[in-house]
Structure 1
Amino acid sequence: MKKLHQKLVSFLLLTIFIAFNHVPVLAWTPEEGLSANSAILMDTMRGQILYKKEANISLSPSIMCKLMTALITIDRTQLNSKVTISKNAAGINGASLNLTVGNLYTVEDLLYGVMLTPGNDAAIALAEYAGDGDVNKFVGYMNEAAKKLGLHDTYFVNPTGLYDEKQYTSVSDIAKLIKSAIANPVFNTIFGSRGTAWIDGKDSSILTNQNKLFWSYNGIDGGKIGTNPKQGVIAVTTASRDGRRLLAVVFDKDEDSALSQTTSLFDYGFTNFYNGLLVSKGIPLRTINVQDMDVNLISKIDVFYTYPIGRSFIKDIGFIKNEKLVLPLKTDVVAGVLKYILEDGTEIDVDLYSNREVVAPQDYKSKIKTILDENRDLVIIVSILIIIEFLLMFYYIIRFLFRLIKKMGHPEK
């Protein structure tokens, strides 16, 4: 039965590939700008922004709620745990999985339901489970996580993304969340899934990722689509080429436009930017003076950054010395920080270390003390021998004096 399901998944995914293999491509240059209402292109290595347009305007967080729900659930539960479906979950507006009240589903299956489909019923079920039966408690977890991640344009009211005028987000915050979330292997795997078998009792079907770029653009390795009837469509997509992974978040009036502009952003990012070496490990970068000793500083690692082709993209370089340094200076002590500021505002801090252990020069007395400290056992033995020699000399002197006095008291007749 399992092999049959796997064959069915492969067949249906191939069918979808053929059906969705054409997504219109939008001719675009950064000077002209995108027609999308809001968009952002990010390099996920260190979060450099390669392009943005109205990236902080408030949007309904339909897709953001699902992404955060998945991330919180992964952090707080076990994938193989069983979730009992409540009436509230099964009957929620926008339910897409037809969950059966009272049935048990694994956390992992429900996570795929949230990420691959609208999955409002799965989102409520996970929120109830991870929130100990209290959806509002789970929403509290969502807002706490948003604060920790610095999502200043985001506030949650529910885990489904159903419209509520009190909750909001932005494409900038969605990009920040995804950059952090894909560092989690479980989230990254589900986010990068094209489809999976869905088994509900005796029934089985295929859950397919609604982001059509999986089947039409080279290198897509993550994606989700969010639709809000009151506003439009948000496409969240990642793509990798030549060791680089880019993230695009596009909000526009309809799905075709959002996806076509996503491909334009990826074309722009992969064609016009490189990922190159900023700092080489082991190469002296600064020389500082510590207690009248010159110290060469190096980075212990290679540091990379993303830059436009033909430009260094470095706006400023600063250096902050560790003012608490004293000799001897070990090679594992941070001696200073080299701060690179890029033209897009990105700050890259590079920790620098001494390329060798540095000790203070010694005067005559210090050298003697060092020698004595380093040869303590030998010094003790020599000292004992000297004391013995001194005692023997003292003994012979006393003995000689005693004989002399005795002889003087009894002169020869």
Structure 2
Amino acid sequence: MRKLHHKLVLFIILLSAIILNSIPVLAWTPDEELTASSAILMDTMRGQILFEKDADKVLSPSIMCKLMTALITMDKTQLNSKVTISKNAAGINGASLNLTVGNLYTVEDLLYGIMLSPGNDAAIALAEYVGDGDVNKFVGYMNETAKKLMLNDTYFVNPTGLYDEKQFTSVRDIAKLIKSAIANPVFNSVFSSRGIAWINGKDSSVLTNQNKLFWSYNGVDGGKIGTNPKLGVISVTTATRDGRRLVAVVFDKDEESTLSQTTQLFDYGFTNYYNGILVSKDTPLRTIAVQNVDVNLISKIDVYYTYPVGQSYIKDISFTKNEKLEFPIKTDTVAGVLKYILEDGTEIDVDLYSDKEIVPEQDYKTKIKTILDENRDLVLIVTILIVIEFILLFYNIIKLIIKMAKKMGHPSK
């Protein structure tokens, strides 16, 4: 009896384990444990937000100013251009690179100076160079770019990030900027740098990225950190695993806490979310009727999205047909759009195309017209030859009539 009881207990335990293992569970949610004042975790593929905490909270934009300064400089200059250091740049509060007044530095070196160190002096030097000596002109570029990128909680007053009550940003806007900026290969390369050899006149040293997660978290491939003893510490970090790149922006009271919570967010994102195919290319997704002819619609590419483990994450699907579609239907003409709305509100539009070129059946007259249209040169030549033949025939008939008339007018004796 006891053996039967033990077997029953064992069976129940095994059955429970199987059932529990079959239920998808998010291993850890940071909502209660994250102590950061403001934080966000974003998937860089589509900008899907995997976690946020007070992501729109107003922050001092010190680190945002440097990131934006770097991005604008890359868009408007050449990396090998030479920048002359002004007294204003060398003497700015928070100068960290010991730039020498009157010396020439490449744009590329100054960009690394901005990304790897506080670099207020490099920021002013580049702002003066790009703004033709006018820092305010450069700040105008910063605000124009923020508007284009829809950074609605960001406003700039200077390129250094030195405190000014009029300028502000948020961790959400910083993440949005990074998502856009890493599409620029030059920005991505500088942002991903762990360090470079820094040559300053006769002196040389190693300039190292201050974001320590480069050396402590597997997969980190981009980052910068900003520290203000009075306001706190903000870190911007990207990490890639299995082809997925996430960006985490965390603001907290000190460096240790900020970086620790950044790793927590990455662990959460990589463990509990996947990237998968939403739509497979060349797979019929819709069939529409065009003039009583069925047309199969496909996507020409694989479309990916990010979703929680064990969930489809699709909230709604709708389809809009191209009402102007008419024969002949080409395979490069958008025949309709399939819209997916995810649970987090992300909208993904998938352009659909006919899986083959479709030409309607033609009646007898249409076929003849088509043949004539497709062989216009040959038709023209044949027509000319026929006209010539008619002319020659007409000429010969006239000639014959004249000859006969002459015979009738002069009968034989």
CA distance in 1, matches of 2:135, 2:401: 105
Q: Displacement of 1:291 after TM fit?
A: 2.2
Q: Displacement of 1:233 after TM fit?
A: 0.8
Letter of the structure 2 residue corresponding to residue 256 of structure 1: E
Q: Where does residue 166 of structure 1 map in the other structure?
A: 166
SS for the counterpart of 1:145 is: helix
Q: Where does residue 104 of structure 1 map in the other structure?
A: 104
Q: Where does residue 319 of structure 1 map in the other structure?
A: 319
Q: For the Cα contact (< 8 Å) 1:28–1:264, is it kept in 2?
A: no
Runs (4+) of structure 1 exceeding 3 A deviation are: 371-406
CA distance in 1, matches of 2:302, 2:80: 39
Kindly indicate whether residue 243 of structure 2 is the aligned counterpart of residue 239 of structure 1: no
Q: Where does residue 268 of structure 2 map in the other structure?
A: 268
Q: Displacement of 1:319 after TM fit?
A: 1.0
Q: Where does residue 202 of structure 1 map in the other structure?
A: 202
Q: Displacement of 1:404 after TM fit?
A: 12
Q: Where does residue 11 of structure 1 map in the other structure?
A: none
Letter of the structure 2 residue corresponding to residue 77 of structure 1: T
Letter of the structure 2 residue corresponding to residue 323 of structure 1: E
Equivalenced residue count is 385
Q: Displacement of 1:321 after TM fit?
A: 1.3
SS for the counterpart of 2:257 is: helix
Q: Could you report, residue by residue, the CA deviation over 1:114-158 in whole angstroms, capped at 9, with x for unpaired residues?
A: 111111111111111111111111111100110011000000001
Within 5 Å, give how 1:71-90 maps onto structure 2: 71-90=71-90
SS for the counterpart of 2:159 is: coil
Letter of the structure 2 residue corresponding to residue 84 of structure 1: T
CA distance in 1, matches of 2:233, 2:79: 30
Q: For the Cα contact (< 8 Å) 1:63–1:161, is it kept in 2?
A: yes
Deviates more, 1:329-338 or 1:145-154: 329-338
CA distance in 2, matches of 1:195, 1:54: 32
CA distance in 2, matches of 1:218, 1:69: 28
Within 5 Å, give how 1:59-138 maps onto structure 2: 59-138=59-138
CA distance in 2, matches of 1:121, 1:377: 72
Indicate how the Cα distance of structure 1 residues 370 and 64 shifts in structure 2: closer, same or farther if over 3 A, else same.
Answer: same
Q: For the Cα contact (< 8 Å) 1:232–1:254, is it kept in 2?
A: yes
Indicate how the Cα distance of structure 1 residues 293 and 81 shifts in structure 2: closer, same or farther if over 3 A, else same.
Answer: same
Q: Where does residue 191 of structure 1 map in the other structure?
A: 191
Deviates more, 1:288-297 or 1:66-75: 288-297
Letter of the structure 2 residue corresponding to residue 92 of structure 1: I
Indicate how the Cα distance of structure 1 residues 113 and 207 shifts in structure 2: closer, same or farther if over 3 A, else same.
Answer: same
CA distance in 2, matches of 1:129, 1:392: 83
Q: Where does residue 18 of structure 2 map in the other structure?
A: none
Indicate how the Cα distance of structure 1 residues 307 and 378 shifts in structure 2: closer, same or farther if over 3 A, else same.
Answer: same
Q: For the Cα contact (< 8 Å) 1:325–1:335, is it kept in 2?
A: yes
Indicate how the Cα distance of structure 1 residues 114 and 383 shifts in structure 2: closer, same or farther if over 3 A, else same.
Answer: closer
Q: Displacement of 1:251 after TM fit?
A: 0.7
SS for the counterpart of 2:188 is: helix
CA distance in 2, matches of 1:244, 1:73: 28
Indicate how the Cα distance of structure 1 residues 258 and 386 shifts in structure 2: closer, same or farther if over 3 A, else same.
Answer: same
Q: Where does residue 248 of structure 1 map in the other structure?
A: 248
Q: For the Cα contact (< 8 Å) 1:60–1:228, is it kept in 2?
A: no
Indicate how the Cα distance of structure 1 residues 43 and 389 shifts in structure 2: closer, same or farther if over 3 A, else same.
Answer: same
CA distance in 2, matches of 1:73, 1:374: 55
Q: Displacement of 1:110 after TM fit?
A: 1.0
SS for the counterpart of 2:59 is: coil
Q: Where does residue 293 of structure 1 map in the other structure?
A: 293
Alignment identity in percent? 82
SS for the counterpart of 1:159 is: coil
Q: Could you report, residue by residue, the CA deviation over 1:172-209 in whole angstroms, capped at 9, with x for unpaired residues?
A: 00001011111111111111111111111111111111
CA distance in 2, matches of 1:175, 1:279: 26
Q: Displacement of 1:29 after TM fit?
A: 2.4
SS for the counterpart of 1:63 is: helix
Q: Where does residue 14 of structure 1 map in the other structure?
A: none
Indicate how the Cα distance of structure 1 residues 160 and 404 shifts in structure 2: closer, same or farther if over 3 A, else same.
Answer: closer
CA distance in 1, matches of 2:257, 2:102: 41
Indicate how the Cα distance of structure 1 residues 396 and 272 shifts in structure 2: closer, same or farther if over 3 A, else same.
Answer: same
SS for the counterpart of 2:128 is: helix
Letter of the structure 2 residue corresponding to residue 114 of structure 1: I
Q: Displacement of 1:42 after TM fit?
A: 0.7
Q: For the Cα contact (< 8 Å) 1:224–1:237, is it kept in 2?
A: yes
Q: For the Cα contact (< 8 Å) 1:248–1:265, is it kept in 2?
A: yes
CA distance in 1, matches of 2:201, 2:396: 108
CA distance in 1, matches of 2:122, 2:328: 60
Q: Displacement of 1:38 after TM fit?
A: 0.8
Name the TM-score, length of structure 1 as normaliser: 0.86
Indicate how the Cα distance of structure 1 residues 386 and 29 shifts in structure 2: closer, same or farther if over 3 A, else same.
Answer: closer
Q: For the Cα contact (< 8 Å) 1:339–1:349, is it kept in 2?
A: yes
User: Structure 2, unaligned stretches of length 5 or more?
Assistant: 1-26, 407-413
Q: For the Cα contact (< 8 Å) 1:287–1:297, is it kept in 2?
A: yes
Name the TM-score, length of structure 2 as normaliser: 0.86
Indicate how the Cα distance of structure 1 residues 383 and 138 shifts in structure 2: closer, same or farther if over 3 A, else same.
Answer: closer
Q: Could you report, residue by residue, the CA deviation over 1:347-399 in whole angstroms, capped at 9, with x for unpaired residues?
A: 11111111111222322322332344445566667767877898999999999
CA distance in 1, matches of 2:40, 2:264: 12
Q: Displacement of 1:89 after TM fit?
A: 1.0
Q: Where does residue 47 of structure 1 map in the other structure?
A: 47
Q: For the Cα contact (< 8 Å) 1:334–1:353, is it kept in 2?
A: yes
CA distance in 1, matches of 2:362, 2:218: 65
CA distance in 1, matches of 2:388, 2:110: 87
Indicate how the Cα distance of structure 1 residues 380 and 113 shifts in structure 2: closer, same or farther if over 3 A, else same.
Answer: closer
Indicate how the Cα distance of structure 1 residues 403 and 99 shifts in structure 2: closer, same or farther if over 3 A, else same.
Answer: closer
Letter of the structure 2 residue corresponding to residue 89 of structure 1: A
CA distance in 1, matches of 2:368, 2:85: 80
